Each structure stands twice: as C-alpha cells, then as structure tokens.
Amino acid sequence: MGRILCVANQKGGVGKTTTASNLAAALAHGGLRTLLIDLDPQCNATTGFGVAPAVSHPLVSEAPLHESLVTTDVPGLAILPGSRSVRDVERIAAAARAGSMVLERHLSGGLNAWDYCLIDCPPSAGELTRAALAGSTEVLMPIQCEYFALEGLTQMIEVVRDVMEERPGRLSFSGIVLTMHDAALELTAEVEAEVRDFFGEIVFETVIPRDVAVSEAPSHGKSVIDYAPRSWGARAYTELCMEVRDCE
C-alpha cells in the first residue's frame, strides 16, 4: 500500500482543498498513481476537477471502492467524489464515534493500486476528520499566513496526538505548509518566522504564494499546474510535491 496523506485543518479558508487538489495533480504529473478522496461535504475537491458530487458517498456504500472512482484529465489521477448528503456525513461520523474503522477498512482494501492517496477533510476537528486521520499514514496541515493561524493549528495538533495515541505506530506528521504567502507583507514574514521557530523542521521549506491562477483554476475544472503551468502557484505546488516525495 502507498502513502495516505490526510490534508486537514479545523480552520476554514486556509487552502486545504486547494493544497490537496494541486498536490495530488503534481504527484500524478510526476508519474505516481494518485487518488484524491473528497471527505468534505462542500465537495470542492470534486467539483474543482469538473466532477459531479456523488448522490451517496462511496465510503458508506457496500460496493468496492474502485467502482466509484472517477478518472480525470490528469494521467494517473483519480477522484473518489464527495457527497453533499447530510445523512452520509452522519453515518460516517457515527461509525467513527462507535470506534468503527470504516474508512480504514475501505482504504486498506482498495488502495493497492495507488502510490499516493490524499484525503481532503472538512474544516473541522470533528468525527469525519478523526476518521480520516485514523485511516491515514500521514497528516499534512496547510495554514494561512495570517494572525490567527496558530490558534487553529495548535488545536488540530492536539487531535492528531489523540489519534496517534489511539493508533500507535500508524500515523506520522508529514508537515505543515504555509499558504497564501505574500512576501511583500510584514505580517506574512512575522507569521512565517513564528511558525518556523515554534515547529522547526516539520514546516516545509516551500511556501504557497498568493496567486490569482490558483484561485481561477478550479473554475476551469483543472489544477493550477494544468491551467497555468508557468505560474508561481504551479511552481510552488511542484516544489511541495518534491519535498513530500523526499519524506519517503
């Protein structure tokens, strides 16, 4: 089985879905078989590649995982689409609360064909995110270069530690990635310095810049790498991909 990265942060608007989607595309462009799982009821990772959300989430279905996969225009990249069904969200959350490893069972039975699996979580530290963490081998946390960035990050790390204690030896920290980075702003430099000083080596060297191409790409059903391959955003996600691969 390949690496399973849970892309999570309880704070919304930090570039979580953008990072999951573009990192998945970068890995696929690097020749790695990559699966993007959309666990966020907003389904932005799904629609961002021009895929329609599922009526019922594949993770609550009895059908084999591979029957629900949707191929994309990026060779080597497939998506397990999300669902906006409140009932499905409640079923997955209820299973997690009851101690059921429903997500882990699905993943362990259907990921042999993939080098990387990235799970896009909802902006929450609730049961859906905990279920994703329990089924993953690594966690990657995007944080926005803003004043309140560390607040949500500290709380999220506590959740990760809880899961690590419950599932010893399975989950590790892939790293923290700084997003919406604007080198011209003094606040950005202050936040970056504070994060790197506090968390040290687990912060990726690559930062994701503010780039209009990154924001525009999903409206065209593409990653920024396919939409604007020469943009700063495409370059940053390619460099982040190389850092992630070096962590193997």
Tens digits of per-residue pLDDT, 229-247? 999 999 999 999 999 998 8
Please compute the mean of the pLDDT values over residues 192-218 and round it to a whole number.
94
Closest among 175, 114, 154, 106 to 134, alpha carbons compared: 106
Task: Sketch the domain layout of the chain as residue ranges.
Answer: 3-246
Q: Name the least confident of 36-50, 108-122, 186-200.
A: 108-122
pLDDT > 90: what percent of the chain?
A: 56
DSSP helix/strand/coil, 210: coil
Scan for tokens 């993770």, then name that residue: 59
- For 123-161, the pLDDT digits (tens) are 888 888 888 888 889 999 999 988 777 777 778 888 899
Residues in CB range of 232: below 8 A, 6 or more apart:
209, 211, 213
Angle at 76 between CA 72 and CA 81, to 5 degrees: 40
Does the pLDDT at position 106 exceed 80?
no
pLDDT category at 97 given cuts 50, 70, 90 is: low
Question: What CATH code would you report for 3-246?
Answer: 3.40.50.300
Q: What pTM did the predictor assign? A: 0.93
